[in-house]
Chains A and B, each alone.
Chain A
Amino acid sequence: MNKEEILKKLNAVFCDVFDDDTICLTAETNADDIDDWDSLAHISLIAAIENEFDIRFDIKTALHLKTAGEIADAISALL
């Protein structure tokens, strides 16, 4: 899966988790861009991403995921 495909799948996860079909992720998208993306939503997000891509983040990585680009990179490294 290339970065673009990952980002596309990731976008679908974001749309579901935040119940917002207008979300359009770029590598720079971060918590400031999405109203509901707080620390609690982050938990749901990580769980949904792990399930979607069938991966498990390690704690260190998961703690430092701030932007959609960083998340996509972390996914890519685990695939």
Chain B
Amino acid sequence: MESLQYPFDSQLILRMKKRFRRELLSEDVRRIQKKIAILGGSTTAEIRSVLELFLLDQGIEPAFYESEYNSYWQDVMFENPALLSFRPDIIYIHTTSRNLRELPKMTDSPEVVEHKLAEEYESFRVMWEKITQNFHCPVIQNNFERPSLRLMGNKDVSDIHGKSYFVTRLNQKFYEYAQNHPDFYINDIDFLSACFGLEKWNDPFYWHMYKCAPAIPAVPELAFNTANIIKSIFGRNKKALVLDLDNTLWGGIVGEDGADGIEIGQETAAGQLYSEFQSYLRELQSLGVLLTIDSKNDMENALAGLNRPDSVLKPEDFLIIKANWEPKDRNLKEIAEELNIGTDALVFVDDNPAERHIVRSQVPDAAVPEIGEPQDYLTTLDRSGFFEVTALSEDDMKRGEMYKANFQRTRQQAAFADYRQYLLSLEMKAEIKPFSSLYMARIAQLTNKSNQFNLTTRRCSEAELTQIAADPNYITLYGKLTDKFGDNGVVSIVFGHKEGEVFHIDLWLMSCRVLKRDMEFAMMDELVRRCRAAGVRTIRGYYIPTKKNGMVRDFYGLHDFVKVSEDETGSAVWELAEISLYERKNTVIEVEGE
């Protein structure tokens, strides 16, 4: 919904939220359902209803639990049965500086101030630990906004008695906790309140009138920020940027002004703006965001512009360059196909409103931000939260290289008449082992974003997976695939549990980047080997259909399983009755340790 894209009109959202909700719910889209507990230190009704809008817009249909006013701590510590039975997928702790109890006084000794800081931090820490213990779900915790009053004036930020100093230090402790707990996420309201204006954020009217913190007009900013963390946790981030060139990556039109005439580099103010934008894009690339170009230009001119010595981004930084005179929406769809990702994973950036309009109308699920003027490009992209980082796996950082290697493989394939010969020529090596903490971030990420090659589409948090990995009743496997063109990283995940002599496969997924490489056979060989060792006789596999996983409907049939039942929705149970009769299938991948 356009009204919910950054930069949005907060007042419009607040006023129209009922209608927006109705319109979003009437859209014919399938959303994943998630249970979100909001544990608040203030009135959270408005936050809940606006958060719902942003989540619906991101393809997530939330069910909410809300704590009573200011009983976030009690709900967790005294194990409120309503919260326990709600079984949240995410717990959001919405606290603000209004909830701090032990603030320093001018008469406090340094020891007392230290003690207060430790007490305040402890009360949060024990609550987080209790949540981990009882719910095994991700926690989103606000940091604290700066208090808007400074008793000592400027000294408030540096003196040990200053509330500003106290809050800054407490925040620091929260960040350290976050660094050591992967399923714990800080919601940075310190930043938000600064952007919004601290005085308006802390407007006492809304606090004293309704116990709302922050003030109602700030709620959309807060809810948007929170929704970005949530959608990122559930694998709804964007993956690639589709960029225009003229007046987007540089000033001017390269086809008319020539490569020497466009504005880029340090010579002019406008050139500096574009350089800064390009530098930011290069940093996004280092997070694993894929860069591509969709420009109305002759290829020769496009390359001439990018090859200028002062251009930050070079042609080789882009996985795909479409410089032609085709409609941009067509190019964009081709880019999605070539990258093998959905158009809903693309962000289209173009200074031209007409181009934005055509892409928006032809490819409604691609993100098309109202990017503004050149001086706004950076802020718009940065604040939109398309690439919100929650789990940053090593694979993310290397994603660009992986895609490049993929293109090389495609080229190699064309040279082989026999597909098996081609697979052998890739010199593939796999590592197939039980889940290890080293890869847990990537494993969780895969369970949350794989849609196509995914038999049951079960989404798991890191905490949940850690628990499963430790359970002796479970067999877990990750598969990592390397070949002569590069490391594909962790690409396949399987786990299931044993009941007597029967093993149930709870989850089986594979990244589409390694389709048709026989990796699934190597995985099944290993699973069967481990099942045999564990005294299993029969393996049962499940297929639960979604809009996107039709490609694996008959997956288990390829592995000697027999379909034993299927209901009217297409959900099917497959069985490998006697695993002693199973024969190894993989002949092209060398598996480590065999």
Contact = CB atoms under 8 A, between A and B. Distances in A.
A3 interface: no
Interface stretch (B208-216, B251-259, B313-321, B498-506): B208-216
Contacts of B19: 16, 19
Nearest to B203: A56
Nearest to A45: B15
B208 to A, nearest CB: 6
B14 A44 contact: yes
A17 B11 CA distance: 11
24 contacts: A16-B15, A16-B16, A17-B15, A17-B18, A18-B18, A19-B19, A19-B22, A43-B45, A43-B206, A43-B209, A44-B15, A44-B17, A44-B46, A47-B216, A47-B217, A48-B11, A51-B11, A51-B14, A51-B15, A51-B217, A52-B15, A56-B205, A59-B205, A59-B209
A1 interface: no
Contacts of A47: 14, 216-217
A58 to B, nearest CB: 8
A62 interface: yes
A63 interface: yes
Interface of A: 13, 16-19, 40, 43-44, 47-48, 51-52, 56, 59, 62-63
Given A16-B15, A43-B46, A48-B15, 16 more contacts: A13-B15, A16-B16, A40-B43, A43-B43, A43-B210, A44-B14, A44-B15, A44-B17, A47-B217, A48-B11, A52-B15, A56-B205, A59-B205, A62-B205, A62-B209, A63-B209
B434 to A, nearest CB: 49
A52 B212 CA distance: 20
Chain B contact residues, majority secondary structure: helix
B45 A40 contact: yes
Interface string B180-219: 0000000000000000000000000110111010001100
Contacts of B15: 13, 16-17, 44, 48, 51-52
Nearest to B20: A19
Interface in B2-59: 11, 14-19, 22, 43, 45-46
Contacts of A18: 18
A43 B212 contact: yes
Nearest to B11: A51
Contacts of A19: 16, 18-19, 22
A40 B46 contact: yes
B408 to A, nearest CB: 55
Contacts of A13: 15
Nearest to A62: B209
A44 B47 CA distance: 11
B202 to A, nearest CB: 15
B24 to A, nearest CB: 12
Contact of B216 (A16, A43, A52, A56): A43
User: Which 6 A-B pairs give the minimum distances between C-beta atoms?
Assistant: A19-B18, A47-B216, A48-B15, A19-B19, A40-B45, A51-B11
A44 B216 contact: yes
A18 B22 CA distance: 11
A50 to B, nearest CB: 9
Nearest to B205: A59
Nearest to A49: B15
Contacts of B209: 43, 59, 62-63
Interface string B526-551: 00000000000000000000000000
B14 A48 contact: yes
A53 to B, nearest CB: 12
Contacts of B17: 44
A59 B217 contact: no
Contacts of A44: 14-15, 17, 46, 216
Nearest to A52: B15
Contacts of B43: 40, 43
A44 B210 CA distance: 11
Contacts of B22: 19
Contacts of A40: 43, 45-46
A47 B209 CA distance: 12
Contacts of A51: 11, 14-15, 217
A59 B18 contact: no
Nearest to A63: B209
A5 to B, nearest CB: 19
A63 B11 CA distance: 21
